[in-house]
Structure 1
Amino acid sequence: MFQDILDFLIKFGPWGLFIHAFADAVIFPVPAFFLQVSLSIMHPQNALWLATYGFIGCLLGTPFGYLIGKLLGKSVLYKILKKEWIDAATNMFQKNGEAAILIGSFTPVPFKVFTILSGCLNFPLWRLLAYAAIGRATKFYVVGTLFYLYGNAAEGMVKDVSLYIALIAVPLILVGMFIKRKRKRRKMEQEKLAESNPVLMEEKIREQTSDQTPSA
């Protein structure tokens, strides 16, 4: 059945990919990656345009996936996807939701898992959109660029594109998380020090008061 749907969508070219990417972010279980590759093989000169259609479709579909999670909860995921995908994504979310979205955007785990989970766990929608934009742009445009530069020869390259992106991006994301947590911890220590030292606390209150006082 899913193959019949893909065969139908491929007839519409870029707009078929747009629809597929939109549905991929909402509930359709087959990632838009497969249709993007098929269309890029047929029209490698338009590969970057195809990536753009897919990227925009995915972003527009993201709030709808979020809404499904908000209204129906995680149960809908277990009806359409593998339990191990859902459990893995949930575990990532519980550790760090932002990193989960970024990493999940270019892993084999269907992206709708992360849009629906975001709604289930009340993750801020604007953050979901921001991190989805970064991750999905990476996935769509890496594939599009390879086909644009190498034509049909890129077919063999993109099979492991998720792995290659992950090998580069995941360490960068982990380093970013480490730096962010270190800065947050340092800020908390400074606040505790200020609270334990009356002089520093008084200076802090004075600074806050002066900031709130309107200038003449």
Structure 2
Amino acid sequence: MRIFTGMYDSVLRWSAHRRAPWILGVLSFSESSFFPIPPDVMLAPMSVARPEKAWALASLTTITSVLGGVLGYFIGVLGLEIVLPLIEEAGYLPAYELAQDWFITWGFWVVLVAGFSPIPYKVFTIAAGAMAVALLPFIIASLLGRGARFFLVAGLLAWGGPRLEPLLRPYMERIGWVTVILLIAAVAYFSL
């Protein structure tokens, strides 16, 4: 079953579209507050296809992600009662409760690490608002964490550029399935 190679080829084609940066920005904004797909799935191939624009794309992704994180923060401040059942239904409740515990213990550093890691960032943005974490430190930690992640992705793939693409393509199925398995394992871990 070859699913991921076709998706990879499609994303590479989309990355060359003139509206691709807009789509990347919307995806990045949405992922930080409510959408499940991380912007890396567009940022990475766009950086391979357009290495000369990698830094601009990483900046766009960082800024829109932080703005989406601020939306998630205000969802936590104003509408936690509404979104908590959705968090539970999506299977993120254990991660949300863990995020709350981590905020109590580590504060600023939790946002910084969550911004960089593959942990669902939206859970931390909503938890930060619900726990009334100071907004300015939240924004600074988000800029540092998200920026480090997206500039690393864009920089590595721009550095490899077009010569990296033929090396990645044969392994797309394996990379895709390993990612799915890791995601399932993470969800199972946080659900238990």
With the length of structure 2 as denominator, give the TM-score of the two structures: 0.70
In structure 1, what is the equivalent of residue 24 of structure 2?
17
In structure 1, what is the equivalent of residue 182 of structure 2?
none
- What is the correspondence of 1:34-183 to structure 2 with a 5 Å cutoff? 34-73=41-80, 75=84, 76-152=86-162, 153=164
CA distance in 1, matches of 2:118, 2:94: 12
Question: Residues 29 and 80 of structure 1 are in contact (CA less than 8 Å); yes or no, is this contact kept in structure 2?
Answer: no
Which structure exhibits the higher relative contact order, with contacts defined as CA atoms closer than 8 Å and separated by 6 or more residues?
A: 2
Question: Residues 111 and 142 of structure 2 are in contact (CA less than 8 Å); yes or no, is this contact kept in structure 1?
Answer: yes
Question: Residues 15 and 53 of structure 1 are in contact (CA less than 8 Å); yes or no, is this contact kept in structure 2?
Answer: no
CA distance in 2, matches of 1:34, 1:87: 27
Q: How far did 1:104 drift?
A: 0.6
Question: Residues 100 and 131 of structure 2 are in contact (CA less than 8 Å); yes or no, is this contact kept in structure 1?
Answer: no
> Percent of pairs identical after alignment?
26
CA distance in 1, matches of 2:98, 2:119: 9
Question: Gaps spanning 5+ residues in structure 1: where?
Answer: 160-216
Q: Call closer, same or farther: CA 1:38–1:88 in 2, change over 3 Å.
A: farther
- Count of aligned pairs: 153
Structure 1 SS opposite 2:116: coil
Q: How far did 1:81 drift?
A: 4.7
Q: Call closer, same or farther: CA 1:80–1:38 in 2, change over 3 Å.
A: farther
- What is the correspondence of 1:194-213 to structure 2 with a 5 Å cutoff? none
Q: How far did 1:119 drift?
A: 0.7
Question: Residues 24 and 30 of structure 1 are in contact (CA less than 8 Å); yes or no, is this contact kept in structure 2?
Answer: yes
- Deviations for 1:146-171, whole angstroms, at most 9, x for unmatched residues? 12222142886xx8xxxxxxxxxxxx
Q: How far did 1:106 drift?
A: 1.1
